[in-house]
Amino acid sequence: MIVVMKPGASQQQIDHVIERIEQLGLRSHVIVGTERTVIAALGEKRDGAKQALETGDGVEKVVPILAPYKMASTEVKKEPTRIDVLGLAVGQEHIGVIAGPCSVESREQIMEIAGIVKESGASALRGGAFKPRTSPYSFQGMKEKGLQLLAEARDKTGLAVVTEVMAPEHVPLVARYADVLQVGARNMQNYPLLEAVGESELPVLLKRGPSATMDEFLLAAEYILKTGNTHVMLCERGIRTFEDHTRFTLPLATVPYLHQTTHLPVVVDPSHGTGKASLVAPMAVAAVAAGADGIIVEVHPDPEKALSDGFQALTPTAFRHMMADCRKVATALGKKM
Ligand code: PEP
Ligand code: MN
């Protein structure tokens, strides 16, 4: 339920409603708006709770939240959420660009690509140190050494570091080096991991599971939001379909759909979404046109030699062209990129 306070309700009245919500065995989440405060009362439905709260001083009305995801829903918060971390701004009129290799491979590789993507206008550096690979025989990432190199690249360029964390017990380690924790597609429904990244209080980039529905995706985000961490970005990275001309199918209608249903910003990953370098830039441009708040894209100094996902990595030159094209669309839409 949402308790909508009257405009000008006093702090004492707000505190009283919070106390009543908690006495009813529900959790409260306060959202202070420009005109009025609303308080979400979250938990299992209780008979009589609506009536009990409606009689509170300063309460205008109590309305049920219809969406199964409560805190992610636009029913609770209409203004779009913006994530700001170092120079990365994602949401509202800002389009953030997160670029870098699939995996951190060496100091030379990450330093070189960090400088290149920074110079081309990216606002964050991506790179996996813990890699979720389909085969246990494939390169698994440089682990802590990779994190140290990412932090060194941040120190040198000022770019925020976005990197994946695969297990709840790795969260403290990854959080020491990262600015944004990425939860990979394969882990979208790893609920202990979602709670652990929530508790880290760092911004989270949550990737959509390749077979997850929108409700499942938003309920996964809800696990993070429920910890009190509201810095969540949703990332569409493609789903599994019968198509075999692309690695996954990248459904861009997700972007406007999510903007209708949630206040959380939406990032698109055209690299994993297509799995083909030649398709990445056009889909990045299309994502911006569809209203994406961010793009995450794989760029490698020498894609042929990449230890993972080289086939979908942009060269530095292709990335520069992608940026120029995306910027034209962003400018036409009145956005900053
Ligand atoms: C990645 O971005 O490095 C990655 C592994 O992507 P996904 O989880 O979307 O497959
Ligand atoms: Mn990859």
The tens place of each residue's pLDDT in the chain, 337 residues long, gives: 999 999 999 999 999 999 999 999 999 989 887 788 999 998 887 778 889 999 999 999 999 888 999 999 999 898 999 999 999 999 999 999 999 999 999 999 999 999 999 999 999 999 999 999 999 999 999 999 999 999 999 999 999 999 999 999 999 999 999 999 999 999 999 999 999 999 999 999 999 999 999 999 999 999 999 999 999 999 999 999 999 999 999 999 999 999 999 999 999 999 999 999 999 999 999 999 999 999 999 999 999 999 999 999 999 999 999 999 999 999 999 999 9
Q: Is the CB of 132 under 6 A from ligand 1?
A: yes
Burial (CB < 10 A; 0-12, 13-18, 19+), residue 227, is middle
First to last CA, the chain: 37
Distances 231 to 160, 169, 182, 225 between C-alpha atoms, Å:
15, 21, 12, 8
- Least distant ligand from the CA of 212: 1
Closest CA to 3 of 33, 48, 38, 32: 38
Read off the DSSP letter of residue 231.
Answer: -
pTM reported for the whole predicted model = 0.95
Torsion angle of C-alpha atoms 20, 25, 29, 32, degrees rounded to 10: -10
Q: Give the strand pairing for 2-5 and 180-183.
A: unpaired
Residue located via tokens 């008979």: 47
Q: Phi, psi (5° rounding) for residue 279? A: -100, -10
CB atoms within 10 A of CB 199: 16
The pLDDT score that the predictor gives to residue 35 is 80
Q: How far is the CA of 103 from the centre of ligand 2 (A)?
A: 7
Q: Is the CB of 272 under 6 A from ligand 1?
A: yes
* Closest ligand to residue 275's CA: 2
Atom in ligand 1 nearest the alpha carbon of residue 182: 2
CA distance 14 to 206: 32
**What's the pLDDT score for residue 44?**
81
Type and span of the H or E element at 71: none
Within 10 angstroms of residue 169's Cβ, the number of other Cβ atoms is 11
40, 67 contact by CB (below 8 A) = no
CA-closest residue to ligand 1 atom 3:
102
Radius of gyration of the chain measured on its C-alpha atoms? 21
Closest ligand 1 atom, residue 238 Cα:
9
102 C-beta closer than 6 A to ligand 1: yes
Residue 245 is predicted with a pLDDT of 97
Distances (CA, A) of 162 to 94, 151, 230: 17, 10, 17
- For 287, phi then psi, to 5°, come to -65, -40
Which pLDDT score is estimated for 46?
73
**238's tokens:** 């493609």
Which is it for strands 232-236 and 266-268: parallel, antiparallel or unpaired? parallel
Inter-residue contact 188 to 207 (CB < 8 Å) = yes
- As given in the structure block, the two tokens for residue 58 are 């300063």
Cα 48 to ligand 1 centroid, rounded to whole Å? 45
Query: Nearest residue CA, atom 10 of ligand 1?
Result: 185
Ligand 1 atom, smallest distance to 128 CA:
3
Name the DSSP letter for residue 251.
-
Which pLDDT score is estimated for 43? 86
Is the Cβ atom of 240 under 6 angstroms away from ligand 1? no
Which residue is associated with the tokens 């205008």?
A: 60
Q: Which ligand is nearest to the CA of 128?
A: 1
